[in-house]
Amino acid sequence: MNTEVSVLYFAKSAELTGLKAENITVPSNISSLQLWQHLETRHPSRLSVLRDQVVLALRQEYVPLGEQPLTLRDGDEVAVIPPLSGG
Amino acid sequence: MAADGGQDLITLTTDRLSADRVSESVTCPSCGAASLFIGTTRDNFEGKKVIRLKYEAYSPMAESELRKICHEIRTKWPSVRHINIQHRLGVVPITEASVVIGISSPHRRDSLEAVKYCIDTLKATVPIWKKEIYESGEPCWKENKECLWADAGKDPKQS
């Protein structure tokens, strides 16, 4: 089953994609790694430079890139999180 | 928030931060100690002159992560009374404060330890990003070494 979620881009990822946000439609039980790969496909040759230094956030909780299936719901907010530099 | 009325104050703002106001906000009659951390922006990095910093945040999540830090502080140091964490966003001129943390407690050890824990954990977990703009050369998104998904091998130093 497909779900529509919003993806927020921050810092370097926003510069690479030229976007602050976009909506995507993906299977609801996709893994975080598959979701990342989907985003890479949407922005060819742009996001891949971040691949080893990025995590996602789903519903404001961090999710590393991995095989574990997420359980996406319509309207969920996903964020691309490059390495942090607060403080 | 502590059971006895201790407050967690969390602010993300583009306004200039005031260490005095943070310090005043955490004082209380039963506390013998208020500890303060002020993080300021340096004017140089690896020989390059930094002319400006720009901070960006995933604001709702930054606030929720800061609340988690306050909760962890109160679990580890139950005597802590008030916590005030302020982080500036947007453009921050050199030498101005980007973060101010104030924590009060009856005796000094707890507030000192809690402030250290607070800034260390903030750097590792709060979704805020800093971009350094140099006098010459490309701007650079910084990476905290505390952040688990930073590439420590490629980009040493930080903070």
pLDDT in tens, B41-65: 889 988 999 998 999 999 999 999 9
Residue A29 CA neighbour count, 13 Å, CB half = 1
- Where are chain A's structural domains? 2-76
- Provide the shortest C-alpha distance from residue A68 to chain B (in Å): 18
Chain A residue nearest residue B122, CA to CA: A87
ipTM of the complex as predicted = 0.96
Say what the pTM is.
Answer: 0.94
Cα separation, B98 vs B6, in Å, equals: 25
User: Is B28 contained in some domain?
Assistant: yes
- Give the domain A2-76 fold: Ubiquitin-like (UB roll) (3.10.20)
The 10s digit of each residue's pLDDT in A20-77 is: 999 999 999 999 999 999 999 999 999 999 999 999 999 999 999 999 899 999 999 9
The CATH code of the domain that includes B137 is 3.90.1170.40
Residue B125: list chain A partners with CB under 8 A.
84
Interfacial A residues in 27-66 facing B (CB < 8 Å) = 52-55, 57, 60, 64
Structural domain containing residue B49: 7-142
Beta A77-81 vs A2-9: how paired, if at all?
parallel
Residue B157 marked in a binding site: no
Query: How many domains does chain B contain in total?
Result: 1
User: Is B159 contained in some domain?
Assistant: no
